[in-house]
Amino acid sequence: MTTTDERPTRVADPEFERKAERAEALRGFLQALPSYAYLVFFFAIPLVIVFVFSFASRSRTGRPVLSDWNLDSYAKLFQPIVAEIVARSLWLALLNTVLCLAIGYPFAYWLATRRSARYRAVLLVLVLIPFWSNFLVRTYAWRVLLGENGFVTEIGRALGLWDKLLFTQPAVFIGLLYGYLPFMVLPLYAALERMDWSLVEAARDLYASGWVAFRKVTLPLSKPGVIAGSILVFIPSLGAYVTPDILGGAKTTLLGNYIVRQFTAARNWPFGAALSFVVLVVMLIATIIYFRTDARTI
């Protein structure tokens, strides 16, 4: 046994510090282990599988064959049909994001500026109520509303403005707007609720009109909410599958449906895998660039 006198005498003993750091790192790793395991099993491994399949070839019946590795699936990405579907998906996702923002911002602003905390809580619960039932069920409900003799259809006919919308692009659009609006409202509300309103008063005191104060102070300071909400709406809109599948028709194929079709009816797993993988990478890069430029401006 060694004597207990050999404790490190200097606090700044480099060896001791290094050990402490290593122990700290190990502890952090162990704490995060369950999350790591989850990410590895449900994200990393499936992604690798998708990545591998994108280079596979097909048997004559369309079964994926894990030999004869090639880039054919990637070459197929340049077909005009893909460009058309991507353009349509992008347009719809962008339009949906802009409209969610246009509707969600005033609402979140109004919500965040209510004085009574209880009133705010009630309104917030109202925003969340749709989540109490399944998305699929709610989308089917829209099928009734938009269908023959549906409520929305009746209104349109009464006004003479529109007829049955089901299985058209506007139906898909309404479904997306309805489905993703809460994802815009919530981060916007979170950002606006944290706002220091005395900053707006300061701007008003410094000769800014109400509108200018909003533009120069409220809007820039709620930008993190705008960005978070836009990402939360844009990305799932771009990959939407359920909504266009249930509410859209044959002419409204979007990326999500197109990819699913490759794995089902078209029996072209490698092409579906390549498509998925490219979409993923593009969105990842776009998101990173978005955050980077934003970090510089805030």
Partner 1 sequence: MTVAVGLHAVTKRFGDVVAVDAVDLEIADGEFFSLLGPSGCGKTTTLRMIAGLEFPTEGSIRIFDEEVALAPPNKRPVNTVFQSYALFPHMTVAENVGFGLAMRKVPDAELRRRVGEAIELVRLGGMENRRPTQLSGGQQQRVALARALVNRPKVLLLDEPLGALDLKLRQAMQVELKDIQREVGITFVYVTHDQEEALTMSDRIGVMDAGRLLQVGTAEDIYERPANRFVADFIGETNFLDGVIVAEGHVEIGAAHTVRARTGAPVGTAVTLMLRPEKIQLHHPDEVVDGRNRLEGTVRHRLYFGDSLYYEIELKSGDTIDVRVENVPSLPRWDPGQRVAVSFHHDAADALTE
Closest contact distance (angstroms) between CB of 298 and partner 1 is 6
Nearer to partner 1, 86 or 112 (CB): 112
202 binds partner 1 (CB under 8 A): yes
Q: Candidates 32, 37, 44, 212: give the one binding partner 1 (CB under 8 A).
A: 212
Nearest to 243 by CA among 253, 231, 228: 253
Residue 239-278 contact track with partner 1, rule CB under 8 A, x = bound: ----------------------------------------
The span from the CA of 107 to the CA of 127, in Å, is: 10
CA neighbours closer than 13 Å in the CB half-sphere of residue 92 = 31
Number of residues assigned to the chain: 298
Nearer to partner 1, 144 or 199 (CB): 199
**Residue holding tokens 């900053």?**
199
Contact call for residues 232 and 184 (beta carbons, < 8 A) = yes
The span from the CA of 96 to the CA of 173, in Å, is: 7
Q: Candidates 34, 207, 250, 265: give the one binding partner 1 (CB under 8 A).
A: 207
Nearer to partner 1, 182 or 187 (CB): 187
217 binds partner 1 (CB under 8 A): yes
Q: Candidates 129, 198, 293, 296: give the one binding partner 1 (CB under 8 A).
A: 198
Q: Which stretch binds partner 1 (CB under 8 A): 24-32, 106-114, 175-183, 211-219?
A: 211-219
298 binds partner 1 (CB under 8 A): yes
196 binds partner 1 (CB under 8 A): yes
Q: Candidates 17, 21, 154, 205: give the one binding partner 1 (CB under 8 A).
A: 205
Q: Candidates 136, 201, 282, 291: give the one binding partner 1 (CB under 8 A).
A: 201
- For residue 25, what are the CA distances in angstroms to 8, 13, 39, 107, 131? 21, 18, 19, 44, 39
Closest contact distance (angstroms) between CB of 261 and partner 1 is 46
Closest contact distance (angstroms) between CB of 197 and partner 1 is 9
Closest contact distance (angstroms) between CB of 286 and partner 1 is 24
Contact call for residues 165 and 146 (beta carbons, < 8 A) = yes
b/e code 229-261 from CB counts within 10 Å (16+ = b): bbbbbbbbbbbbebbbbbbbeeebbbbbbbbee
CA neighbours closer than 13 Å in the CB half-sphere of residue 241 = 7
Nearer to partner 1, 60 or 118 (CB): 118
Contact call for residues 279 and 208 (beta carbons, < 8 A) = no
End-to-end CA distance of the chain: 59
Q: Candidates 52, 123, 208, 283: give the one binding partner 1 (CB under 8 A).
A: 208
Nearer to partner 1, 84 or 205 (CB): 205
Residues within the interface to partner 1 (CB under 8 A): 196, 198-199, 201-210, 212, 216-217, 220-221, 298
